[in-house]
């Protein structure tokens, strides 16, 4: 779903900003995104499958009490996805329930600190627990140092704690969504201005026959045309090479989804003279090529869905790959070539 005109207007029309996990708290001038549909939600998407937004496209993003709804294994992948959609130098601002403040209130015996209905939960310990888990909606708890650790693992730098309605980011309007001041911690982090190559966990010992390609299905939707081939490299990486064209909107990226999150993505920008010859009326056909190289961890069978991300910020299927590996989870060790 495309952001509405309402969502992209702001006091500075050149600034693009994301309100991720907005729920019912939508705001004008923001791309309001949530996993659930709503009357004014601009972008309905599950971050585990990747946000249908181009890489390096947003000036800043804010999330208010949404990250706690993810279990621990999904926290860093979600932060990496928010990292991806930010411009180099872009800022992420998180508003999170502050576990330390809640513990202090509990130890002081301050029942009034907790927002749980006293007629429903009377005991102090019960009110503390129900509030921190928020009736089962929250699956992760946060302290300042834990949030900092997660942001570092997500690729962010210049991590700093802020006060409500205060920012060190240089974007004065980034604080517009701040609320729940009495129970929250506020933290900002910046995407590095220059791309930094990060080494992902990988066992370099050679293991013959480690990766097996079980099935390849080419299933492009009516909105895209394309083909790809898959092979196993000598160093046990899965390489996906192909081309893709959008029928109504240009394709900007190819995204691979492992079912538990985005396994990898790359731009559609490689020279393909064969595609240009086949589609002479399409100027973008000459650079419709892509190449991804993925690594894996753990044992088991994986299904990888290959998607085309279009310029209009929709996502269309290209195909599906089934592999069996000694490494269970595919990681985004991507490269262009």
Answering whether pTM is above 0.85, one says no
CATH placement of domain 6-98+142-190: 3.40.50.150
Domain ranges (residues) in the chain: 6-98+142-190, 211-331
* Two tokens, residue 283: 């100027």
Tell me the C-alpha distance between 66 and 13, whole Å.
26
For residue 92, give the nearest of 81, 102, 82, 106 by alpha carbon: 82
Angle between helices 124-133 and 99-107 (to 10 degrees): 170
CATH placement of domain 211-331: 2.60.40
Task: Per-residue pLDDT tens, the chain, 337 aa: give them.
Answer: 333 333 333 345 578 999 999 999 999 999 999 999 988 899 999 998 889 898 889 999 999 999 999 999 999 999 999 999 999 999 999 999 999 999 999 999 999 999 899 889 999 999 999 999 988 889 999 999 999 999 999 999 999 999 999 998 989 999 999 999 999 999 999 999 854 333 333 232 333 346 788 889 888 888 999 999 998 877 778 889 999 999 989 999 998 887 667 788 888 989 898 999 999 999 999 999 999 888 765 567 778 889 998 888 788 899 999 888 754 444 443 333 3
- Partners of 91 in the beta sheet? 60, 190
Strands (E), the chain: 17-20, 31-34, 43-44, 58-64, 86-97, 157-162, 184-190, 211-218, 224-232, 238-246, 251-257, 262-267, 289-297, 300-310, 315-325, 329-331
């Amino acid at each position: 779903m495309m952001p509405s005109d309402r969502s992209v207007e702001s006091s500075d029309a050149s600034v693009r900003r994301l309100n991720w996990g907005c729920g019912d708290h939508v705001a004008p001038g923001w791309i309001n995104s949530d996993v659930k549909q709503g009357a004014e939600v601009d972008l309905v998407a599950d971050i585990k499958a990747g946000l249908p937004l181009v890489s390096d496209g947003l000036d800043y993003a804010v999330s208010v009490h949404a990250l706690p709804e993810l279990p621990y294994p999904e926290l860093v992948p979600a932060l990496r996805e928010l990292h991806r959609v930010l411009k180099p130098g872009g800022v992420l601002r998180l508003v999170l329930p502050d576990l330390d403040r809640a513990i202090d209130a509990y130890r002081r015996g301050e029942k009034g600190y907790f927002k749980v209905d006293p007629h429903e939960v009377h005991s102090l310990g019960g009110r503390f627990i129900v509030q921190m888990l928020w009736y089962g909606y929250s699956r992760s708890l946060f302290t300042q140092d834990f949030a900092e650790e997660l942001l570092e693992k997500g690729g962010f730098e210049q991590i700093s704690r802020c006060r409500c309605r205060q920012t060190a980011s240089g974007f004065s309007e980034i604080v517009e969504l701040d609320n729940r001041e009495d129970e929250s911690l506020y933290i900002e982090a910046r995407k590095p201005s220059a791309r930094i190559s990060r080494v992902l966990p990988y066992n370099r010992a050679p293991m013959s026959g480690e990766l097996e390609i079980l099935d390849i299905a080419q299933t492009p939707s009516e909105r895209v045309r394309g083909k790809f081939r898959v092979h196993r490299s000598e160093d046990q990486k899965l390489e996906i090479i192909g081309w893709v064209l959008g029928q109504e909107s240009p394709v900007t990226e190819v995204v691979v989804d492992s079912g538990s999150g985005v396994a990898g993505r790359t731009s559609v920008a490689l020279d393909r003279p064969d595609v240009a010859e086949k589609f002479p009326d399409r100027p973008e056909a000459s650079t419709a090529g892509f190449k991804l190289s993925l690594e894996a961890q753990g044992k088991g069978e994986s299904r990888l869905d290959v998607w085309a991300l279009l310029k209009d910020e929709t996502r269309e299927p290209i195909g599906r790959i089934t592999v069996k590996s000694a490494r269970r989870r595919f990681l985004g060790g991507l490269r262009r070539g």
